[in-house]
Amino acid sequence: MEVGRLPISASQRSKLIAAGYTTLSSFSSLSPSHLARDLKISDNEAAEIMRVASHSHRLDGSAGGCGTVNGAQTAWDMLHEEEMFPRITTSCEDLDNILGGGINCKEVTEIGGVPGIGKTQLGIQLAINVQIPVDYGGLGGKAIYIDTEGSFMVERALQIAEACIEDMSECGGLLRKDSQACQLKMHPNNILENIFYFRVCSYTEQIALINYLDKFISEHKDVKIVIVDSVTFHFRQDFDDMALRTRLLSGMALKLMKLAKDFSLAVVLLNQVTTKYIDGSFQLTLALGDSWSHSCTNRVILYWNGNERYAYIDKSPSLRSASAPYSVTSKGIRNSASNCKRIKMM
């Protein structure tokens, strides 16, 4: 059961979430004095919170019973389901190829890199491409964009949306005779209306929003991607208690993985880089440490190779490690310029 559903005051719920206690199980084994110390409240108030939590947990358990445990699924069914489920194209053929066709649903994909490498550009591209109609090989879904840094640019989103429609128009005649009717539904304004934008300004807001997404997506079942840009920003500031930070991040990661699985959607986490002392020298690595790297299904690192942008599959249970070039153009993410030249020469 989520803390947000507890019949306690709003300030008490906020204190629990801020301390990293997002579910009843996360603090059920604590003593009232321990909880009081973490929340900076009196022992009596902590004891009352735990009493209410225990009572609510019993009610929730008696209502759900053993029915909350889902039946088993065979590995064959899982493989068939994974192969049949469409992926979200990045609009870069080379990048799609190393990703197995694009960003996969039911998975959490982390994409990190240095400033200016195109992380936000890729996030906006995915928020638009998830809306490509099923007739064109897309999902026909909607997007949630969580902006922690204020880097989302609606003018850029409009520019990429117009380019997406232009691309579909060029290949539409080859795909469907009645493609014109489909294109009329894909007006740039409609695309922007299908991106649900949330601006969060603190880590407590970020955690509260992640906890709220379950309810929001239940009411907007056509959401097929959740993008967090960036997942790191608020967790790299004003954190003296690293144990608290780890607890908060772990709870948030579990919630996002559950959202991806329960609603068959893709979760994309954009991450920043930091320096780490490795083998006698400082090297760039993705932020939040090694433990955070286990919180995602796939990890993609964006980097510069000379003047060209590259994406590298750093971690994945199903994709082999590989690199692919890509470009950030006026139309959005596309194949690298050098690759396009090679294709024309052939």
Q: What is the pLDDT of residues 111-132, one digit of tens each?
A: 999 999 999 999 999 999 999 9
- Round to whole Å and give the CA distance between 180 and 322: 38
Element (H, E) at 226: strand 223-229
pLDDT of the residue at 282:
62
pLDDT of the residue at 343:
38
Q: Phi and psi at residue 140, in whole multiples of 5°? A: 60, 35
192, 145 Cβ separation under 8 angstroms: no
- Round to whole Å and give the CA distance between 145 and 199: 9
CATH number among 2.40.128, 1.10.150, 3.30.70, 1.10.3470, domain 3-82 = 1.10.150
pLDDT of the residue at 136:
86
32, 38 Cβ separation under 8 angstroms: no
* Tokens at 155, concatenated: 């003018």
- Round to whole Å and give the CA distance between 235 and 231: 8
Instruction: Show Cβ contacts of residue 102 under 8 Å, excluding neighbours closer than 6 positions.
Output: 87, 88, 89, 90, 96
- Round to whole Å and give the CA distance between 119 and 105: 19
pLDDT of the residue at 346:
34
Is there a shared CATH topology between the 3-82 domain and the 86-334 domain?
A: no
Q: CA angle 303-305-310, nearest 5°?
A: 50
76, 265 Cβ separation under 8 angstroms: no
Write 152-158 long-range contacts (CB < 8 A, 24+): 152/120, 152/124, 152/197, 152/229, 153/120, 153/124, 154/192, 156/121, 156/124, 157/124, 157/127, 157/128, 157/191, 157/192, 157/195, 158/188, 158/192
Instruction: Show Cβ contacts of residue 246 under 8 Å, excluding neighbours closer than 6 positions.
Output: 291
Instruction: Show Cβ contacts of residue 267 under 8 Å, excluding neighbours closer than 6 positions.
Output: 107, 108, 109, 225, 226, 228, 256, 257, 259, 260
From the list 340, 156, 261, 319, the residue with the least C-alpha distance to 311 is 319
DSSP 147-188: ESSS---HHHHHHHHHHHHHHHHHHHHHH-TTHHHHHHH--H
- Round to whole Å and give the CA distance between 213 and 326: 32
The tally of CA atoms less than 13 A away on the side-chain side of residue 144 is 28
Fold of 86-334: Rossmann fold (3.40.50)
pLDDT of the residue at 95:
97
186, 133 Cβ separation under 8 angstroms: yes
Collect the ranges in the chain with pLDDT lower than 70. 1, 59-71, 80-81, 83-84, 172-185, 238, 277, 281-283, 289-291, 338-346
- Round to whole Å and give the CA distance between 277 and 36: 38
Domain boundaries of the chain, sorted by first residue? 3-82, 86-334
136, 100 Cβ separation under 8 angstroms: no
Which residue type sits at 100? G
In DSSP terms, which residues pair with 274 in a beta bridge?
285
